Copies of this chain bind each other. A is one copy, B any other.
């Protein structure tokens, strides 16, 4: 990782890795919201950057590695995972086009990856160094505002996750999670966006425990559960679980 910053060189127009192949993905990135394709192209062209290709399963960065660049996903998917001292994985989150990562860890006292980043399929990333990003900010206050928004969203997400994890007991966490999903969906019928395995990891629990709890809530008539489709039958009872 150390020498990564040196690898970034201006991209020639006919380079196989040229960002021009990905402007479509790029302008969908929140960082370029409100900015048209030509402007974005011009800004990036004048900014040092690098396109990096990852094979499926390849590790891009390890937990603790220093962060030198903003990384925008232009193709594929990556997963952020943290592992405990014995190598057990705790899935944190997946990211895909047109998201970025390392946004919140490019600055601050300790600029290092909090999780290990792995490509879960063939993936291409656009890298922009911290210094060049700052320059970009001075050229476009739109991008600066967008970047602030991105970090803020990230902090919101983390904060919500903490709120969930802070609840005492698995039952409370699952209840809060379901209620949150219901609020988002605006509907009592939910499609679970995660597998039980993933839920267990989110809740710092285990898969059988999560499964059992879903069964229990079902047996108590609080929810209806058929596969990934869940219907909230008794909202108040579910809220009481959070006590």
Contact = CB atoms under 8 A, between A and B. Distances in A.
B158 A110 contact: no
A152 interface: yes
A141 to B, nearest CB: 6
A149 interface: yes
Nearest to A168: B204
A152 B92 CA distance: 18
A104 B166 contact: no
Interface in A95-152: 104-111, 114-115, 134, 137-138, 141, 144-145, 147-152
Contact of A152 (B86, B105, B239): B105
A159 B108 contact: no
Interface in A153-174: 153-156, 158-163, 165-168, 172
A97 to B, nearest CB: 19
Contacts of A82: 163, 166
Contact of A85 (B162, B166, B239): B239
A84 interface: yes
Contact of A134 (B84, B145, B152, B172): B145
Given A90-B166, A162-B161, A155 B105 contact: yes
B144 A114 contact: no
B141 A134 contact: yes
Contacts of A151: 104, 107-108, 148, 151-152, 155
B166 A204 contact: yes
Nearest to A86: B243
B206 A168 contact: yes
A111 B152 contact: yes
Given A151-B151, A163-B82, A114 B156 contact: yes
Among all A-B residue pairs, the 7 with the closest Cβ atoms? A108-B152, A104-B155, A107-B152, A165-B165, A158-B158, A107-B148, A108-B153
11 contacts: A86-B243, A107-B149, A107-B152, A108-B152, A109-B152, A111-B152, A114-B160, A115-B159, A134-B145, A148-B151, A158-B162
Given A148-B151, A162-B165, 13 more contacts: A86-B242, A92-B162, A104-B159, A105-B155, A108-B152, A110-B153, A111-B152, A115-B159, A137-B141, A155-B158, A165-B204, A167-B204, A168-B206
